[in-house]
Chain A
Amino acid sequence: MSETARRAVSVSVSALGKLFGDKRALDDVCIDVEPGTFLVLLGPSGSGKTTLLRCVAGIERPSSGTISLGGNVVVGGKTFLPPERRKLAMVFQDYALWPHLTVRKNVAYPLTTSSLAKSERVGRCDDLLERVGISHLADRYPNELSGGEQQRVALARALAAEVGLILFDEPLSNLDADRREQLRIEIATLTREAGMTAIYITHDQSEAFALADQIGVLNQGRLVQFDTPENIYRHPNSAFVARFTGVAGEFPVHVTSLMGDHRVQVALPFASSHTIEASNTECLKPDADVSLFVRASGVMLAEPARNEGVRGIIRDVAYNGRGYDHVVDVGEGFTLTKIFATTRFERGRNVKVCFDPSACFVMDPTREVSE
């Protein structure tokens, strides 16, 4: 086992609860993270993801439950280990760079209590600054850097600690689109190279899918789904998860028949003669009224002359660099958004809309965890 792989720690959160006054920020959250896993906690504002991260960091004291890092209980019963004894690192949303210290001193901070000789500390610092591409800024102060550069310093500081767990608190939320993309790749690469376990929180599902080995979706303080990115995308377990991870459209539908193997046939509300196949994770009865959720990746646009598919009219089109995102009016007041095509369909043009059954699922919207 390599040194970096040995460094990564497991994280175990059990029955974690946190109350702020009478408001429940976390409710019975249980998570188990294998060493070296990149876990992304995904959820809207107020879902409790930041509170959960801060509890793991030791900045927040949970009201109940236990947290173990690398098998050692850091929170539980009367035990509460302060942050400095948990051997972890963190990248803050506002970067939290100390304005009175230069870039080099910020990065060297976690090393000041280590047993390393000064020359070694300087060497490691310079190496990290080189790796994140800001070695030329070592003697500058944080306020002399751009947002992206500041974020790189925060990342280098977290990596400098050489600990088993690194926490990311929405680190890309203050950056523009270009820098987000670039830094996201760097975070993924450098964290995995360092062999650390990572917990990363975000409300951006594309960021979550791009980074994660595992995703935990939180809503109103509860962990509503914990799975691989692929499973969460393909098999959301609730309407909330489906919506939050991105759908092109949501329609009330009527189940016409059960097909077995978690498949059903449903009648579309905007094309009553047309039925499509969708996956089903719940125990539905025939004739049930449910909602159909369609992923953007499961919708294709075709020429109107094509036999299969339902009719639609292009309402809007936007160029996204790789192709075109379309908004399609499918009738009866229903629309599908973000439908990708490599060719452009002009506004007002008639098209045929074809559905991929693997990206369509039905669920009872009233049964969802909560929203």
Chain B
Amino acid sequence: MAIAVLETTAPVTPPPPTSKRRGSLGGVILWVVLTLLIIAPVASFLILGVSPRVFQQGSQWFTLSYVRQAFSSYFGRGIFNSLWVSTTVAILSVCLATALAWLIHRTNVGGRRFWTVAMWLLLMMPTWMMTLGWSDLLQPFGAAEALGVNTHLIYGEFFGPLGIVVVLTSAALPFAYFIVSAGLQGLGPEYEDAARIHGAGPIRSLQTVLPIIAPALLSALAICFAETMSDFGVAFTLGYHSNFPMATYVLFSAISNFPANFSVAAVIAAVLIISTIPPIVLQSRVMRKRSYAVLSGRTRAPRRRQLARGPRALATTAVAGVFFVALGVPILGAVIGSLVKNLGIDSPNGVHFTLTYYAQIFKPSIQGDSLGAPLLLSNQLGLVVATGTGVLAVILARRLIANPGSWSQRVTDVFLLGSVAVPGVVLGVGYIFFYNLSFISHNVVSIYKTLPLLMLALVANAVPGQTRFMAGPVSQIQPSLGEAARVHGAGRMRAWRTTNLPLMSRVLLWGWLLTFTKTIAELAISQILYPPSQEPASVSIQSYLANFAPNTGTAMTVLTLFEMLAVIGIALSIYRLVTPKGWRRVGWTGVQS
């Protein structure tokens, strides 16, 4: 799953009315696209769990034997591990994110702007990169020891549930943080003031006020759970090396081992999807039944609590500590790891720093491939996928907020919620099945084992989360702004371009950057669907790390990370240079800066 649901509690307002005929035709086209992108591939894979004969994967038309198999031995352990780890991670990340959001948005803690940028970086960092940084840092004769820190005691613990929970909590933190922040932003000081005036102390007033953002907390819990359940990066790296199987990895191994067991993989996929739907649907129902709309024209800007010097220093240190563990350690570990000669090997000559591995990146190695071509390919994929996802997400987001309560809106809503819970690995395998069907390849489209198939799968993976990410900002734009443009002479497109686009520009840009970076670093789908001799960067790096030259793989990871950061920097600079001042003043309707 590329990105998750970053929702706001903003009231949903309908967009200007459109022609019914045009709307229904558009709706049909949209659902055909969504069927080809998500519904058909996922459904064709899931059906194998109970009916393997449909795609010639067995002799039975209906059987439950694979369900039993999936819940036993190694596979069952993977499912059980994923469930408890995801629950733990969801609770930890929401608690931590609530504390961070409160400190950053409601107090004068130091470096507030910096921490928000750091949170975005954390959001964009793939989990396998985090794992790599940690393991490079902690391994015997690794980066930490190069800096003179003994890590023998922690190392054993890290390669196990503890390390997995730490990395996944770090990865889930931004999702929870942005959702809780949105809730806190709308919570004006008057609620706390009213509690204090009526006799509540600081603790009791906090107890009074926190339930107001309960939907945001619940939403964050659901999303963190879903994100963790569907993560592949940690399961593929840390989970595998720690002999701690997790659901996504056992699913992957079920299809990649010989002989492949697609039916068991399908059952595990169904478990992954089903396990994430209840919390999301529960959250959605709670949001629908109770109104927590706290944003209004009369809501005053939240007031910051002025901490005294001592508590402020303590709070700043605590926030810095969290970011150091979540972001600093992995980056530091990977950077140092890429610079230390013979990392992980006891050298009698002591530690030596070198740039050799960076030099090797672009030289043909034993494997015959440098990072150049895969990285270029990943950037091209990122460009196409982020743009395609952005267009589709805006269309879907508008549909999601149009005609609240209508049948089409509810179907779209449920579909998107369900799709957010579909892990990339499930989508990847589903694409193999669906687009390899002779009916599809002969009559619809023949793209099996091609780059467009990988692109489509990546778009399908990113669209649900991106749509929900856009829905908040889109719903916050008052319909009267577009109506005013139409009334004063602008056509439909011009009205959208001159009024809605500027207001959404920044969130569109960040959404694009998020999909772009996630696509470059995406592992599960890329690993399953990359065409022969066209490896994306993430796959290439994994093969270096696993088989040939881990040090060069680490250097590749660092280079890819910095390349992503450079793209973000360039894109933001271009945005700053080419957009009018007015766009930059208000183009931030959804996510707090």
Which residues in A have some Cβ–Cβ distance to B below 8 Å? Answer: 57-61, 82-84, 86, 88-90, 92-94, 96, 98-102, 105, 109-110, 113, 141, 143, 157-158, 161, 167
Contacts and interface: CB of A to CB of B under 8 A. Distances in A.
A109 B494 CA distance: 11
Interface string B484-497: 11111111100100
B168 to A, nearest CB: 39
Contact of A59 (B17, B490, B491): B17
B499 A98 contact: yes
B478 interface: yes
Contact of B587 (A59, A83, A100, A110): A100
Would you list the 5 A-B pairs with minimal beta carbon distance, nearest first? A100-B582, A96-B484, A96-B480, A83-B486, A110-B488
A113 B487 contact: no
A90 B485 contact: no
Interface in B484-531: 484-492, 495, 498-499, 502-503
Given A84-B489, A100-B582, A61 B17 contact: yes
B586 interface: yes
Contacts of B310: none
B483 interface: yes
29 contacts: A57-B487, A58-B487, A59-B17, A61-B17, A83-B483, A83-B486, A84-B486, A84-B489, A84-B490, A84-B491, A84-B495, A89-B488, A90-B484, A94-B480, A96-B481, A96-B483, A96-B484, A98-B484, A98-B485, A98-B499, A99-B582, A100-B503, A100-B583, A100-B585, A102-B582, A113-B490, A141-B582, A143-B586, A157-B488
Assign chain B's interface to a size class.
20 to 34
Nearest to B477: A99
A59 B487 contact: yes
Contact of B17 (A60, A101, A157): A60
B27 interface: no
A109 B488 contact: yes
Contacts of A90: 483-484, 487-488
Interface in B455-497: 478, 480-481, 483-492, 495
A83 B480 CA distance: 13
Contacts of A59: 16-17, 483, 486-487
A94 B479 CA distance: 11
B6 to A, nearest CB: 22
A101 B483 contact: no
Nearest to A94: B480
Nearest to B501: A100
Contacts of B486: 58-59, 82-84
B487 A141 contact: no
B491 A109 contact: no
Contacts of A105: 582
A109 B16 CA distance: 19
Contacts of A141: 582, 585
B580 interface: yes
Chain A CB within 10 A, most for which of B17, B486, B489, B499: B489
Contacts of A82: 486, 491-492
B585 A83 contact: no
Given A59-B17, A98-B502, A99-B503, 16 more contacts: A82-B491, A83-B486, A84-B487, A86-B487, A92-B480, A92-B484, A96-B478, A96-B484, A98-B484, A99-B582, A99-B585, A99-B586, A100-B583, A109-B498, A110-B488, A157-B488
